[in-house]
Amino acid sequence: MADHQQKTHAQQTQDHPHHPDMKMPDPEQVSKAMSNIAERSQRLVNDFLTRQATNTDTSTDPDPMNVGKAFMEMTSRLMSNPAKLVEAQMSLWQDYMSLWQNTARRMMGEQAEPVVEPDRGDRRFKDESWQENDIFDFIKQSYLLSSRWLTSVVHDVDGLDDKTAQKVDFYTRQFIDALSPSNFVMTNPEVLRVTAETGGENLLKGLEHLLSDLERGGGKLRISMTDETAFEVGRNVAVTPGHVVYQNDMMQLIQYTPTTEKVAQVPVLIVPPWINKFYILDLREKNSFIKWCVDQGLTTFVISWVNPDEHHKDKSFEHYMDEGILAAIGAIQKQTGTEKVNAVGYCLGGTLLSSTLAYMAAKKDDRISAATLLTTLLDFSEPGELGVFIDEDQLAALDERMEKCGYLDGADMANSFNMLRANDLIWSFVVNNYLLGKEPFPFDLLYWNSDSTRMPAAMHSFYLHNMYEKNKLIEPGGITLKGVPIDLGNIKTPMYMLSTREDHIAPWLATFKGTPMFGGKVKFVLSASGHIAGVVNPPVSNKYCYWTNNRKVKDPEAWLKGATQTEGSWWTDWREWLKDYAGPEVDARDPAKGKLKPIEPAPGSYVKVRAV
């Protein structure tokens, strides 16, 4: 009876194309949209052909990242052990047989447990049809079985060196993620449903979004992650009051307006990474680390790095130290009359701060009273998945590209970071923007993520070769700055080191290796969550926890096993630690009334320069 009803319903759908659940497209709207799409497509093609005709790039390497070489080596090793490959294929065949049997049982109305399920948190298959519809459940499980099999096969190949194995694993995952059935119209039930409900309007809008992103990227696809018109730096992000009190070719120094009558005598200097803009620490009032510091009675200064162009081609790592941190310290001394500052370095800013501290130690300069390193790599022997982009051939190709224009384009760096979380930062937007035809949701964090910065050729080449490739920072005298060999072991400055447990950019097992490198007291703290959320975790949110362990432990896992877990934000723990180095209370300092003449209101003009 049930089968008869299903067949009758299917026949009715065929006999009556104007099904009540389906919307027929408006021919006039379709014609207008297609005309607009054709015009814009033709313009993009013409622009592409013009660029090709005037392209002076003589590089002919079709595979600068050596992905093909890595997979050829993997295939050769794999084929040398045919028994293992046959065993893997038999295992996959058995899994598929179980899937066929379970699907057949479900179609006959029986209950059947899934052979494989998505990981918790995998939002690609959140639509109910992936579970409730037999066909889409089969498609989903078939994909998951194949991806699990492929991942296992390439991961278990014997004889590959670590670098090649990492590259194979990484690009295999990129391939698997790209082929998810959720990324295609005909195998995504939500897209099919919306297409039927809108008469295909979603696909037309999606095509228009695709063209807009191509136009915005100058012919390269620059996926919109958020509604960028919803935000403006200085209007609704980066709004903590203050003034730019000093600037040079490399940075603007912002001093924030106090909100307390008394402040700690020793001011705080925040050194953000120049790979991103500083306002990740000042997105909104409720989650602004900068605003919180000001409210805690800390005279707070922040470096706002310049967004480099071809004129900064020769700016080196030394320039970021000399015209960045050292210049900022000098300006703060003049502005406040204090001899010392407490410095905070975030990510790459922390690597620069550590290098600067080593240089200052060699020069007997003790103007930094205490230092804080947030998610900072010092030992680059295990840099996580970013290491997949670092090898001699890739760096040579990158150097050649940077030499031509004087910098690394911000979009190139952003794409590398997005690939680390491709499903969240690439494919989810492909589905939302292009297949579902939806507008990107306004989200300040994604606006900041899209506000990329460029890298000066000299600095970026030095950083990648000496840190990531050769790991020279941990060698005494391995790196020379302004003619001075530096040694992290000479740093006696008290250190507060924060890492985050789910960090995919600076893995905490790697950052922990930095703890024994310093010659002074070090407090290591581990926060829950990742590279951004674990740092930008205000106490009012009470969202994540953190771990502390006062014992000196060499092994990170042993450290964590013996650590004390505390609910809430590490910010309060850091503020308590800082009290010993903050000095007595003094009258609050108004940046508009200091010895340095205010140049312009915060957040300044440097941060407003966009790379794209």
For the cut 60, the answer to whether the pLDDT of residue 3 exceeds it is: no
pLDDT of 288 above 50: yes
The pLDDT confidence band at residue 49, using thresholds 50, 70 and 90, is: low
Q: C-alpha distances in angstroms, 365 versus 82, 269, 368, 561?
A: 63, 16, 8, 38
512 pLDDT band (50/70/90 cuts)?
very high
Q: Is the pLDDT of residue 608 over 70?
A: yes
Q: Kindly state the tokens that stand for 213.
A: 């992103």
Helix (H, G, I), strand (E, B) or coil at 256: strand
What are phi and psi for residue 109, nearest 5 degrees? 90, 5
pLDDT in the model for residue 285: 93
Mean pLDDT rounded to a whole number for the chain: 89
Count of Cβ atoms closer than 10 Å to residue 360 Cβ = 22
In this structure, what token pair is assigned to residue 127?
Answer: 């639509």
pLDDT digits 0-9 by tens, 147-192? 999 999 888 888 888 888 888 999 999 999 999 999 999 999 999 9
pLDDT band at 64 (very low <50, low <70, confident <90, very high): low
Residue 45 scores a pLDDT above 80? no
pLDDT, tens digit, 9 for 90 and up, residues 375-385: 999 999 988 88
Structure tokens at 437: 């035809």
Q: Is the pLDDT of residue 68 over 70?
A: yes
The yes-or-no verdict on residue 299 having pLDDT over 80 is yes
DSSP 430: I
The amino acid at 276: N
**Mean pLDDT of the 445-456 span:** 92
Of residues 140 and 29, which shows the higher confidence score? 140
pLDDT of residue 85: 82
First to last CA, the chain: 62
Cα atoms in the Cβ-side hemisphere of radius 13 Å centred on 228? 15
So what's the pLDDT on residue 339? 95
* Mean predicted confidence (pLDDT) in 418-435: 91
Residue in 112, 574, 137 with CA at minimum distance from that of residue 342: 574
Write the pLDDT tens digit of every residue in 184-231.
999 999 999 999 999 899 999 999 999 898 888 888 888 999 998 999
Q: Residues 242-409+454-608: name the CATH superfamily.
A: Alpha/Beta hydrolase fold, catalytic domain (3.40.50.1820)
Catalytic-labelled residue, pool 293, 347, 405, 545? 347
pLDDT above 70 for 41? no
Decide if 530 contacts 392 (C-beta within 8 A): no
Return the pLDDT at 20: 47
DSSP secondary structure, 104-149, as one string: HHHHTT-----S--PPTT-GGG-STHHHHSHHHHHHHHHHHHHHHH
Total residues found in the chain within this entry: 612
> Is 396 in a helix, a strand, or coil?
helix
pLDDT tens readout for residues 326-360: 999 999 999 999 999 999 999 999 999 999 999 99
Whether the predicted pLDDT of 264 surpasses 50: yes
Confidence (pLDDT) at 1? 41
Residue 159 pLDDT? 84
Q: Which residues pair with 456 in a beta bridge?
A: 407
Averaged pLDDT for residues 594-609: 97
pLDDT of residue 8: 39
Residue 4 has pLDDT above 70, yes or no: no
Selection from 206, 503, 524 nearest residue 373 by Cα: 524
What is residue 226's predicted lDDT score, i.e. its pLDDT?
Answer: 92
Position 563: which residue type?
Answer: A
Within a 13 Å sphere around the CA of 533, how many CA atoms are in the beta-carbon half?
A: 13
H/E stretch holding 479 reads strand 479-481
d(CA 392, CA 65): 10
Confidence of residue 11 (pLDDT cuts 50, 70, 90): very low
Is 545 one of the catalytic residues?
no
Tokens of 128: 């109910």
Least confident of 61-65, 136-140, 150-154, 429-433: 61-65
Q: What local confidence, expressed as pLDDT, does residue 407 receive?
A: 92
* Residue 534 in this model has a pLDDT that exceeds 50: yes
Q: Using alpha carbons, select from 44, 37, 47 the residue that is nearest to residue 208.
A: 37
Mean pLDDT over 427-453 rounds to 93
Query: Cα(524)–Cα(373) distance, rounded to whole angstroms?
Result: 10
Domain ranges of the chain: 31-54+61-216, 242-409+454-608
Q: What's the confidence (pLDDT) of residue 6?
A: 43
Tokens of 241: 């009051």
The tokens for 342 are 């407490």
The H or E element containing residue 373 is: strand 368-374
Residue 21 or residue 430, greater confidence: 430
Give tens-digit pLDDT for 103-144.
999 998 898 899 999 998 899 999 999 999 999 999 999 999
